[in-house]
Structure 1
Amino acid sequence: MEHPHQKEELVVSTQVLAANAALRLVGHVIAHATANAWRVAVCVVDTQGVTLAAARMDEVAPPILDFAMDKAFTAATMRRTTEAFFERMDNSPSLRLGLANRSRLLVWGGGLPILHRDGIVGAIGVSGARDVEDIECARHALEREGLSFEI
């Protein structure tokens, strides 16, 4: 006898950024920040927002790494840049109020989803410099690996 759900998919498979690629992205961010005399922390996560690789440059305060992790988590789970999420939130008082009660969602610039072959495979978060500099570091790292962040 056929079960009524046999024709449905029971398991979903997703692609995730490889650990070695996550480590290279961290290295690219640190190299770019160093070349520009910026001090940052960086975190690369999988599609669920779980850390694959992270680093905090010398003399960067420990909470800055938490900010980078939260930016990456937000970009991965919300499937958009933290900057785009901020713009959406800025136009919605109810979203702004709701966000105040959610842990880990952070809308400062510097969190980017990581796309490979039109699918999100993770996210990167950079924090510690100005927002535009954090974004520049993250974009630079993705470009070095031939990855994108635009959906």
Structure 2
Amino acid sequence: MSLIQEFKAFAVKGNVVDLAVGIIIGAAFGKIVSSFVGDIIMPPLGLLIGGINFTDLAITLRPAEGTTPAVVLAYGKFIQTIFDFIIVAFAIFMGVKAINKLKREEAKAPSLPPAPSKEELLLTDIRDLLKEQNGRSAPVVPPTVG
């Protein structure tokens, strides 16, 4: 098999295409989660905690001199990123928890037994006809599924 044929077989395999679709959907979902946290969760949370924003916290290691910018250890941005991560992780946890609860309730729902197959129905009819011909009452044995 030539290198081009091998690459073609690899590139169009279902797994590679599925992975690409998953990455694209994941990126779009990341935007949804970011908007949910930034636009829905953070404003009320900001009101509750008094609008605390850690991004301005920093230590200047060397002040700016002329055109050289200052060297700053921006630990506040790191703290804010951790805080944002915890909020995103908690929001996703709550979403997954709700989905799992729905799945458990769905699994608990009573399911109907499967309908008998054509063969089972035919065998039941044959049994009933044989009972009529013999004129006696044979014990009723339910058809087995197998």
Select the structure that is richer in strand: 1
TM-score by length of 1: 0.29
Point out the structure with max Rg over C-alpha: 2
Higher relative CO (Cα under 8 Å, sequence separation at least 6) belongs to: 1
Select the structure that is richer in helix: 2
